[in-house]
Amino acid sequence: MPARPSAPELLGGMPVAALAGALVGTLGAFKHQSGVSAVTGAGFPWGLLLSLAMVAAVLSAIRVSFVSRLYTIAAAVGVVAAVGLFALRGPGGSLVVIGNAEGIVWLIGSVLIALLVAVLPGRRRAGSPPADGILEADAREEDPAP
């Protein structure tokens, strides 16, 4: 079984992972409407597609980079918190995530992607012993056997 991260590693890494998730959620919240006309609502929602892909890519990278799932959960909480915050009305009554089709897909899609990536199993190759992390696995593969 892989070694669990120590308490200092968790105390240092989980806030960083949550911050990374919050940054991804914030960027996606502001860019998910790109490509859609504010006047007509027409256009291809490339901003929505790229924002959802960014959430999936960042959370997946965190998931495969660390042994513990806790870092991915912290990043997923950061994404969901940022998306939820920007779905609320601001002090002036303005909204970042509006209630059109793209906004609803962004709200539901980002949360579903975060949940899906957080519950996915870690990466392991068939027949290989569990590694302590991505760096140890790579070092073991490159080390020639005598």
The pLDDT of residue 115 is 93
Model confidence band, residue 134 (pLDDT cutoffs 50, 70, 90) = low
Show the tokens assigned to 25. Answer: 């959620």
Give the pLDDT mean for 28-34. Answer: 90
pLDDT digits (tens, 9 = 90+) for 53-106: 999 999 999 998 888 889 999 999 999 999 999 999 988 888 888 888 889 999
Model confidence band, residue 141 (pLDDT cutoffs 50, 70, 90) = low
Burial class (CB in 10 A: 0-12, 13-18, 19+), 23: middle
Spatial separation of the C-alpha atoms in residues 121 and 104, rounded to whole Å: 28
List, in sequence order, the alpha helices (H) in 1-146.
7-31, 46-65, 70-87, 101-119, 134-142
Q: How many CB atoms lie within 10 A of CB 65?
A: 13
The pLDDT of residue 33 is 87
Residue 144 has pLDDT above 60, yes or no: no
Which of 78-82, 104-108, 113-117, 120-124 shows the lowest per-residue confidence on average (mean pLDDT)?
120-124
